[in-house]
Structure 1
Amino acid sequence: MAPLRTFSPLVLASFAAARQCSQFQVPVDISSRQGKFSEIPIETNLDVGAFATRFSEFQGNYSDALFTDFQTLKGSYEISAQYCRPDSGSSGTIQVLTHGIGFDKTYWDLSYQNYNYSYVNTALAAGYSTLAIDRFGIGNSTHGDPINEIQAQAEVEALNAVTTKLRNGGIPQVGTAYDTVIHVGHSFGSVQSSWLSALYPNNTDGIVLTGYSGAGQFLPYIIAGWNLHSARLNQPLRFGNASNAGLLKLAKQYGMNIDLVSGLQKVLGAAGVDLTTQEIGDIVSSTEILDLITGYNETVFQYNYPSGYLASSDLTALQYAFLYPDNYDLALAIMGEQTKQPVTVGEILTIGNAPMMSTFTGPVFVITGEHDIPFCGGNCYGQVPNSTAANIPAGVEMAFPSASTFDAYIQPGTGHGLNFQYNATAGYQVIQDWLASNGLGA
C-alpha cells in the first residue's frame, strides 16, 4: 500500500499542463438568508454520536427543534477551483462540477492509476471545459462556523456567484466568458445544482444530477451508517491541529513514509507483536487506524477544521455509504478514505431545505447507481409511496415540470459514489452522450 500523495509535484504539473489545467481561488461575495440554530455540544465523538441519534429519530425533526430564527449571512469568501480546457481550446461550453459530502473537487479528477477514473478527462475528450469547485466551507475553500455559517443555502449562493463570474468573464485565470454553463453535481452537489436551478433558472443551461433522487426518507440510513466522528478527532494529523512532527520522525525511522504496511510491521515487531503483511494491511485499511495515522506524510495539507465538522468513521463506513461491494478497487477506496472531507452540522440541518419545484426550462438528466443507499435505500428500481414513477430516480421529473427534456438513468451494479466504481467511465460517457443529444454538445 503506497503512502498518500507520493507522486512528485513535477509529475502533477506536467500532466495538468498537457490538459491545460490550473488551480486557483475565486473570490465571491454572497448574501444568504438561512437558519439560526441553537448551539449544541459537538466537541467529542460521543457528542457527535448524540447529535446523530437525535437527528435520525423516527418521525422526529431535530432541525426544527434547534431552529431559533432566520438570519442573513453576508460576506466575502474564496472558492477553490480547478479549471481545465481541451488542448484545442475553449468551445464556449463549460461543465461546473460540484462534489458531494465526503469529497472535494478531486472527486471529479481522481489521480488514481494515471487518472483512469477521471470524469474531467472524459468531459475534455468530448470537447467541454470544466470547472470543479470545493464547496463553500470545504477543502481549500473558505471554512466557517459549522452550525450557523456553512449551510446549504450559503453554498448555493457561492455556486451561483462562481457561475455568474464564469458567464461574464470575471475569473482572470479562466480568461474567457462562457455562454453555455452546464451544472453537474454529485449527491449534495446535485442537491445544490438543482437548488440553483430553482432560485436562478436563467443562470444554468443544463442540469446533470448524479447520485441523486427526490426521495429524502433515506437520509437517516446514511447518518447512522457513517458512524460520525468529530473530523478533527478522526484524522487529527490532517483535519485537526495536532503536531505531526513526532509521528513523522517515527515514520521515517521505520520507513513508513515509503511503505506504510511494512513500516508498521517493523514497529509492531519491535514491540513483540508478530503479524503478517496481510494481517497488517487488513488492520490498517479497515479500521480507524488508517485515519489516525493519515497525515503523517509531510506533504499533506492540514485543514484545522473546528469542532462541528464531522467525518465518517472509517473505510467500512465509506463502503456502506458510497461503494457497492465487489465493484471497486480497494486501493482506490483506501485513497478515498485518506483524502475524505467532512460535513458540517449546519449542512446536515439544512440539506432538506431545497425548493420542491424548479421552474428551469432546459434539459435535466439524473444518473444514479443501482444500489445507491442515500437516495434509493440500496434499490433504485424500487418505488416510493404515492409515486407513479417507474423507479426512484425517475420521480425527480415531478420537480422539473417545465424542463424541455427530462431523462433518468440507473447505472448498473453501482453504489452512490459512481466515480469510484469499476464502471465509472461508462457512466461518464452516458452523460456526455446525453448532453450532445439534447443540444448541449461542446
Structure 2
Amino acid sequence: MATFGRHCQNLTIPITISSHQPLFSPPLFTTNLDATSFAQSFLQRGRILAAELTIGNQTLQSTYNISAAFCHPLSGISDAPLQILTHGVGFDKVYWDLPYNAYNYSWVSNAVEKYGFNTLAIDRLGIGASSHGNPVNEIQAYAEVEALRQVTLAARAGTVPGIAKPGGFKKVVHVGHSFGSILSYWLSALDPNVTDGLVLTGFSRDTGSAAGIFFAGWDIKLASLNQPFRFGSHTRGRGVDGDFLPLLKNYVKSLGSNPSFTSQELWNDIATTEMRNLIVGLNDTSVTPQDLPGGYLTWADFTANQFLFLLPGHYDVGLGLYTETIKQPITVGELLTIGAPPDSSNFAGPVLVLTGDKDLAACGGDCYATGGAGGAGGNIPAQSVKAFPKARPFKAYIQPRTAHGLNAHYNASAAYDIAHTWLGTHGLGGKA
C-alpha cells in the first residue's frame, strides 16, 4: 500500500441557505438552574417539549460562513472521492484530526496518508469557527442539513474557495459521527443524488430508546458559565501555574484542611471536575471568548464526558482530558429538532454503519442487547437497514471495546481501516 503524506489548509466556505423550520417560543436561559429545568421538561415521560414550544413555522433565509479543513495527498488533489466529514454534538472538525499523540487518533491522517482520499472536515453551522446564530430559532437541525447540502453542492461544482479542483469532485462520500451521521442520513433522504456513499459512525435508528439516558448524563450547563474563558465574555488571568493554582491552594488551606500537596497533585485532583472547566483557556492566548448566549449548552465536566463518550480502560485518559478542553456546545434548537429526520432514505448507494459495541447514544450501552429482535446481523445498528431500503450494499459493523466517541479509543485506527477498505471494495476507494 502506498504512503501518500498529506497537505492541509483551513478554508472558509460562504453559503446561502433557505430552511423551512419551526419557530419556537424561546425558553429562558440565564442560569444553570434554567438549563436543569429545561432538561427536566425535555425528559419528562409523555411530554413532547418541542411541540409545546412551537408557535409557528418560518423560512430561514441567510448567508453564513462554514469553517472547514481540506486535506489531500502531498502529490496533489487526487481523483479519489472527497470525504465530507461532519462531526457530532460536543465537538468540531478537530474530532476528525485529533493531534494528540502524533495524530494516532486521526481519521483524516488514515484516510489521506494511507488510502489517498481527499477530506473536507467542516464545523457544523453554529459551532466552532463557523457562523453562530440564535441558538433556538436559527441553529436547528433543519438549517444544518441544508448547510451541509450547500457545502456538498459547492464541492461537486468546484466552487469551494481555496480548492483548485476544476470541475469539482466527481464522487463524494459523506462521513458522519453521531449528530453528524444523522445529518448525513437526513441529507441522503432529502437529496439521494447528492452523495455517492455514506459512512455513519456512532449511529443507529434506535437512538430514541437511549436518548433520555444519554441526555440526562450530560448534566447540562450554560456553555458560557461552564467554560467562561472560551464560551463566555470573561478575559484571561495570568495562567494556571502563575495565578490560579496558588490561589486555590490558599483557599483550601483557609478551610482548615491544611493539605500538603504539589500543584501537579492539585491539578490531578481537579482535572475531572467542573472547576477545571472554569480555568480552561487561561493559558491559551489564542482563544477569544465567544460570548455565547444562554441557549448554547454543554455537559458538566470530564466525568460526564466519559459517561457519554468513553469506555473505561479502553481509552487514554490524557486524550479524554484533551477532548474536554476542546469540547463544543449544543444549541437548544438542535435538541428540539435532532429527532426530526425522515423515517427512511431512498439513497441507492453503499451505506456503512460503524458503531462501537458499548455505544450509549446509539445502543443504550450494548449494541448486542436486541432482546431477540436484532434483525440482520443480530445487533441494534444492523436494524438501520430498514431506513435504507434501496441501499446497495448495506453493512453494519460493530467496533469492539468502543463507546460512542469512536475516534478517542485505543483501537480507533482499526475502525478507520475497516471503513476505508470497505469503501474501496465498493468503488469508492482512494488510490492505495
TM-score above 0.5: yes
Give the alignment of 1:27-426 within 5 angstroms: 27-92=14-79, 93-124=81-112, 125-176=114-165, 177-215=168-206, 216-244=208-236, 247-248=237-238, 251=239, 254-255=241-242, 264=245, 268=249, 272=253, 273-277=258-262, 279-297=265-283, 298-383=285-370, 388-389=375-376, 390-426=378-414
The alignment's C-alpha RMSD in Å is: 1.8
1:165-211 CA-to-partner distances (Å, cap 9, x unmatched) read: 00010013111110000000000000000000000110000000000
8 Å CA contact 2:228–2:289 kept in 1: the answer is no
Structure 1 residues 45 and 271: alpha-carbon distance in aligned structure 2, compared to 1, 3 A threshold: closer
In 2, Cα distance between equivalents of 1:422 and 1:386 = 30
| Residues 345-380 of structure 1 deviation map (CA, whole Å, 9 limit, x = unaligned) | 000000010011101010000000111001100000
Task: Give the TM-score normalised by the residue count of structure 1.
Answer: 0.91
Q: Does the Cα contact within 8 Å between 2:84 and 2:175 map onto a contact in 1?
A: yes
Q: TM-score, structure 2 length as denominator? A: 0.93
Instruction: Check the 8 A contact 1:98/1:133 in 2, yes or no.
Output: yes
Distance 2:319 2:288 in 1: 20
Amino acid at match of 1:413: R
Distance (Å, rounded) in 1 between the aligned partners of 2:385 and 2:406: 21
> How many positions carry a matched residue from both structures?
415
1:221-254 Cα offsets, whole Å, 9 max, x none, are 111100000000000111011122xx22xx27x4
- Letter of the 1:274 counterpart: P
Residue identity opposite 2:194 in structure 1:
N
Query: Alpha carbons of 1:325 and 1:265: their partners in 2 closer, same or farther (altered >3 Å)?
Result: farther
SS in 1 for 2:83: strand
1:65 Cα deviation from its structure 2 partner: 1.1
Q: Secondary structure at the match of 2:338?
A: helix
- Following the alignment from structure 1 to structure 2, what is the Cα–Cα distance between the partners of residues 141 and 293? 24
Structure 1: which 5+ residue stretches go unaligned? 1-17, 257-262
**What SS does the aligned partner of 2:98 have?**
coil
Provide the secondary structure at the position in 1 that maps to 2:44: coil
Deviation of the 1:271 alpha carbon: 6.8
Q: Which moved more, 1:265-274 or 1:36-45?
A: 265-274
Distance (Å, rounded) in 1 between the aligned partners of 2:373 and 2:418: 30
8 Å CA contact 2:12, 2:161 repeated in 1? no
- Residue 386 of structure 1: how far off its partner (Å): 6.3
Tell me, what secondary structure is at the counterpart of 1:71?
Answer: strand
Instruction: Indicate if the aligned counterparts of 2:368 and 2:374 stay in contact, CA closer than 8 A.
Output: no
Q: How far apart are the structure 2 equivalents of 1:326 and 1:159?
A: 35
Whether the aligned pair in 2 keeps the contact of 1:384 and 1:392 (CA below 8 Å) is no
**Overall identity of the aligned pairs, in %:** 48
Deviations 1:79-121 (A, max 9, x none): 0000000112222211000000000000000011111111100
Residue aligned with 2:362, SS: helix
- Stretches of structure 2 lacking an aligned partner (at least 5 in a row): none
Contact 1:265/1:280 (CA < 8 Å) preserved in 2?
no
Question: CA shift at 1:266, angstroms?
Answer: 7.6
Rounded Cα–Cα distance in structure 2 between residues aligned with 1:116 and 1:269: 39
**Alpha-carbon distance, 1:267 to partner:** 5.4
**Contact 1:95/1:181 (CA < 8 Å) preserved in 2?**
yes
Tell me the SS of whatever aligns to 2:422: helix
Quote the Cα distance in structure 2 between the aligned partners of 1:438 and 1:206. Answer: 9
| Alpha carbons of structure 1 residues 168 and 337: separation in structure 2 relative to 1, 3 Å | same
